[in-house]
Amino acid sequence: MEKLKSEWFDWVKALLIAFGLFFIIRTFFFAPIVVDGPSMMPTLHDGDQMIVNKFIYQIQEPERFDIVVFHASEGKDFIKRVIGLPGEHVAVEDEELYVDGENVEEAFLQERKEKMPSYQPLTGDFQLEELPGGHEEIPENHVLVLGDNRNNSTDSRILGLVSMDQIVGKTSLIYWPLDRIQIIHD
């Protein structure tokens, strides 16, 4: 009887440790997220399941073209691509991205640009000053984000700049569905 009691206690202890580790990892390090909608097509598809790295921005700053998850509103997270970083001025003119007046190639949009009819703009022209907030340059601890499906995305052009406090983390690993398993590169 004593052996059974000891074995039962060991199982309970192992399960509590496992649940505790799961809780810590899920809360502070990694979390799953499901892509909802077409705003990141063709890079991400509606229903793709991904892992969010929640601690990466504790040890490094976001980089241009990182795919991030952020709190867009209470209870609603969005997935978008970082386009502008603190201290930069961003503009799009004739479907070309300009950062501080320099043309920046967006290789991930090339296929989409080739398939778009010439009369339908992918992004539409804008300058940072025209976005909500009217900034002349991106303030410290903020980024400008856009969806890859620019003509069907609620992003910084509508929401304004995203504060680092709103960012949950970076995502680049699709783990489901099986035929879409991949690591997304810029």
DSSP code for 164:
G
Residues serving a catalytic function are 39, 80
What the chain holds in terms of domains, given with CATH numbers, is 29-177 (2.10.109.10)
What is the structure's pLDDT at 20?
66
What is the structure's pLDDT at 117?
65
What is the structure's pLDDT at 6?
73
- Torsion, Cα 135 136 138 140, to 10 degrees, reads -90
Q: Give the list of residues 6+ apart from residue 15 with CB closer than 8 angstroms, or none.
A: none
What is the structure's pLDDT at 17?
74
What is the structure's pLDDT at 13?
72
What is the structure's pLDDT at 32?
86
What is the structure's pLDDT at 119?
64
What tokens appear for 45 in the block? 């598809």
Point out the residues of the chain with pLDDT beneath 50. Answer: none
Q: Give the list of residues 6+ apart from residue 103 with CB closer than 8 angstroms, or none.
A: 96, 97
The answer to whether the CB of 42 falls within 8 A of the CB of 182 is no
What is the structure's pLDDT at 159?
93
